[in-house]
Chains A and B, each alone.
Chain A
Amino acid sequence: MNRLYFRKIKNFIFLGLISLSSLFIIIPLSILLVFLISKGLHGLTWSFITELPKPAGEMGGGIVHALLGTIWILSLASFISIPIGILGGVFLSEYGEGFLANTLRYSADLMTGVPSIVIGIFTYALIVIPMKSFSALAGAIALSLIMLPTIIRSTEEILKLTPKHIRKAALALGVPRWKVIFFIIVKGNISTLFTGIILAISRATGETAPLLFTAFGNMYLSSSWKEPMATLPVQIYNYAISPLENWQNQAWSGALLLIILILILNICARLISGRFDVGHGPKFIFMKLRKKWTSKSF
């Protein structure tokens, strides 16, 4: 009797504790979000998003140069890493056994563990110094090195989930293998692939460390890939550590803008894949593919 009571108490305490544990996640995050919104919202005006910064000490100004810089560098990085990443993922999923494939797989996993600052140093040494200039290109290359392994692995995982009978059916109809790969499998999965890519891009949006000494920073608008370019995270960092209250407020508004950008990307990704839960569900992807293939006519 005593022992049962003791077990019941232990049960109650344990369940109570783990139920409260989620509060430790929700409370700090809520404080962060409330702080961010309260400090950044009133500064997030149209002029903030469209104006260039003013010299130190003067009120007003905006971060349009950093916003456009982020979009520009991300696009450049995507153009570099998406083709290479998808082809790498295709190789791993289609010809995935063997020495080369395994090496590629392990190298990609290796890359995901490299701290982003190390990638920044690598890009500085290999691109900024020979080019004798900080540049948007160097920043884009650093970001693409960060996005590449994620795209490769997610492409491989998604393509591997294609049901085997589709592949066999196409091959049986006499389609050459390469066409099966690119026109049927990749094309069929394109929206899920896109989801993985957008998630990789949203991860790269917030990266600051590799951009510190590659894209460097610029007080003006720049659209040349050879010139230094301002980016949202680096600009937020510079404003955050400054003593001017105007700039500190702009750091908060910039941070809010950055979060909104990332949330937009994430929501796009979820909308495209049609799900709002975490992780890939093989059943759902299969059902989506089946719907696609039964509606197309060969």
Chain B
Amino acid sequence: MKAVLLFSFLALLNVSVAGEVTKINGAGATFPAPLYSKWFSDYQMKNKDVQINYQAIGSGGGIQQLLEQTVDFGASDTPMNEEQIKKAQWPVMHVPTVLGAVTIVVNGAPEGLKLDGDTLAKIFDGTIKKWDDAAILKLNSKLKLPSNEILVIHRADGSGTTAIFTEYLSVVSPTWKKNVGTGKTVNWPVGVGAKGNDGVTSMVQKTPMSIGYVELAYAESAKLSKVALKNKAGEFIIPSTDSISKAALKVDQKMNVIDQEGKGVYPISAFTFILIPENKKEGKLAMMRTFLKWALTEGQTSAAALYYAPLPKSLAKNFVNKL
């Protein structure tokens, strides 16, 4: 009886959902997830026959699931490393989709707190323990800082955001490079781990006197205080669409735009990529390529509203031709 009722209900459901809808599954980075969810929803409104289901489980997860072929496309903030490339059954194309920034967010200190790379590294490795430490006060002479302990919040999962952040710290602090290093997961000396960009954001939101690193979109939507970071030119810059775009004026082959030279550049800016198999062009992947072409052209207009920066036009055109 229960079975009959259930089946008839689900049969009705099937009828309402029916139609030639292609479902594409993807998984990966939480870094661009807010923008991707807007893109997928906008694209679906224009093309009702494509449904893209994206689960934000972290860059590490995106690469892993793509390699296991349990999803149709992956998303990651960092390119695959050699071991992963070798493990792949086919060559993987890394399509840059948008630029974002890793923002340092704080709870308990005022907006615009100034920090430089070295001090930041010392906070995250536990050398600097309190908010009113001499090094922080030196950079912020006009501010009154509490004498509480700094509570560090980092990522617990395999994260491209972590990779970008630790890459920056390794560049600006040789001590960090030696002791902790770079990677999607690192041996954090201190702090609590949260899952995903949203997990870190929510923890910083809830924990007074805490500091964390999240993508700009998350910091903005949760209205957290952002830190002004010292760039190579000596200025203290707060991340914004503008300062991110300035970082991408000169892009090299590796697409690494961390700690770039120039005025008004935000030092921790980065590309984020969607990964698809290079040689497959039919079926779901053909639809994915069409979507990517749309994202690299029309989709870029929605980037700024969500606090990302659009790709440099030449780069976007380059990839549209490649797809």
Contact = CB atoms under 8 A, between A and B. Distances in A.
A associates with B = yes
Interface of A: 54-57, 68, 71-72, 75, 79, 128-129, 132-134, 216-223, 227-228, 241-244, 248
A54 B38 CA distance: 9
A243 B37 contact: no
B69 interface: yes
A241 B199 contact: yes
A219 B196 contact: no
Given A68-B13, A75-B6, A132 B37 contact: no
Contact of B53 (A128, A228, A242, A244): A228
Given A56-B33, A68-B13, A223-B10, A243 B25 contact: no
B23 A220 contact: yes
Interface of B, secondary structure class, is helix
Interface in B31-45: 33-34, 37-38, 40-41
Contacts of B6: 71, 75
B243 interface: no
Given A56-B37, A75-B3, A128 B70 contact: yes
Nearest first, the 9 closest Cβ-Cβ pairs linking A and B are A243-B201, A243-B202, A55-B37, A242-B198, A243-B222, A241-B199, A132-B69, A55-B41, A56-B34
Interface string B177-208: 00000000000000000111011011001000
B17 interface: yes
A157 to B, nearest CB: 23
A233 to B, nearest CB: 15
B55 A216 contact: yes
A227 B195 CA distance: 25
Contacts of A68: 10, 13
10 contacts: A55-B34, A72-B10, A133-B25, A134-B71, A217-B55, A220-B51, A241-B195, A242-B201, A243-B218, A243-B221
Interface of B: 3, 6, 10, 13-14, 17, 23, 25, 27, 33-34, 37-38, 40-41, 51, 53-55, 68-71, 194-196, 198-199, 201-202, 205, 218, 221-222, 306
Contacts of B306: 57
Nearest to A234: B55
Nearest to A212: B57
A129 B55 contact: no
A147 B129 CA distance: 49
Nearest to B16: A221
Contacts of A71: 6
B62 to A, nearest CB: 13
Given A218-B53, A220-B53, A242-B202, A133 B221 contact: no
Nearest to A268: B2
B198 A129 contact: no
Contacts of A248: 202
Given A56-B37, A129-B70, A133-B70, A241 B53 contact: no
A254 to B, nearest CB: 16
A101 B53 CA distance: 46
A57 B13 contact: no
A242 B202 CA distance: 6
Contacts of A79: 3
A228 B25 contact: yes
Nearest to A74: B6
Contacts of B38: 55-57
Contact of B34 (A57, A72, A134, A222): A57
Given A68-B10, A133-B71, A243-B221, 8 more contacts: A55-B37, A55-B40, A56-B37, A241-B199, A242-B202, A243-B198, A243-B205, A244-B221
B39 to A, nearest CB: 9
A132 B70 CA distance: 4
A248 B205 CA distance: 13
A129 B68 contact: yes
A220 B50 CA distance: 12
Nearest to B199: A241
Nearest to B39: A55
A20 B60 CA distance: 50
